[in-house]
Structure formats: structure tokens, C-alpha cells
Amino acid sequence: MEVKIPPKVLKYETFVNNVLKEDLRMVHSKLDLLNEELNDLMSLRKDIELLLSQEKQRRPVTKTQMDVGCNFYVQANVARADSLLLNVGLLHFVEVSFPEALKYVDARTKWLREQVDKLRKDSALTKAHIKLVLAGLHQLQTPDASDK
């Protein structure tokens, strides 16, 4: 026994699966990237605050571990820790003081949170569209239910 799907229902199901669900997947992947960058910024903020507190206590930072790539770490000695190199995008590094770095981290965090909020609204809107189309499909498939 072969089930015949009306062309209108098939068209809307295809739209939901190929367009709306793909849009939702893209929004969620962008959200994941932004959340990862936010976590990196929070970690950077914590590290900078730790270095500032050690600087105020006049304790020189002498030993640390440095990532040389692929999560391989080497022990390093730091002669002076009054500035750092900050990646500001497109692999451009700027030498900044700790207070300047904190200002950058705050501004970047604020901007990223605004982007996350926007993407969450987009996600909610896309989910609402999916529910609306699915409800319409349900009505198309059960026309007797709308008469009652």
C-alpha cells in the first residue's frame, strides 16, 4: 500500500527540512563559536587580573607554562611582565599594557554578548517559524479537525 503525499504538504515539509532547519543549524554553529570566544576572553581576563595582582604584590612572575602549539607546553621564565601581545584579529598582534588589555577584553565581551543575544533571537524566531509551518501541515493533513 503506497501512501500518497499531497504536493502542497511535500513542498512545506521540504521547506522545513531544507531551509528552516538548515538556518537553525547555522545559527547554532555561530552561537557555539561566539560562546567559545567568550570563554577565551573570560580566561584571558582572569589571567590578566592574576598578573596584575602579582605585580601589585611585587612578586615577579618567574615560572609559567607556555603553549607552543597542539597543546604542547614548555616551562618558561618571565623576566618582566608589564605588557602582553594581544591578537586583535586577522593575526594582527598589538603590544598593550594590562589595563589596556582589560579595556579591550571588556569591549570585545560586550560586543560578543550583543551578537549572542541577536543570534538567540534569530534562533527563537526560526523555531517559531518551524512550529508555525508544522501546525499548518497538520491542518493540511487533517482538514476535518479544523471543521470541529
pLDDT at residue 124 in the model: 97
Alpha-carbon gap, residue 15 to 1, rounded angstroms: 26
pLDDT at residue 106 in the model: 97
pLDDT at residue 50 in the model: 84
pLDDT at residue 25 greater than cutoff 90: yes
Alpha-carbon gap, residue 64 to 118, rounded angstroms: 38
Higher pLDDT, 64 or 126: 126
- State how beta strands 93-97 and 73-77 pair: unpaired
Residue 116 burial (10 A CB sphere; 0-12, 13-18, 19+): middle
Alpha-carbon gap, residue 115 to 132, rounded angstroms: 26
Query: Confidence class of residue 64 from pLDDT cuts 50, 70 and 90?
Result: confident
Q: Does domain 7-142 have CATH number 1.10.287.370?
A: yes
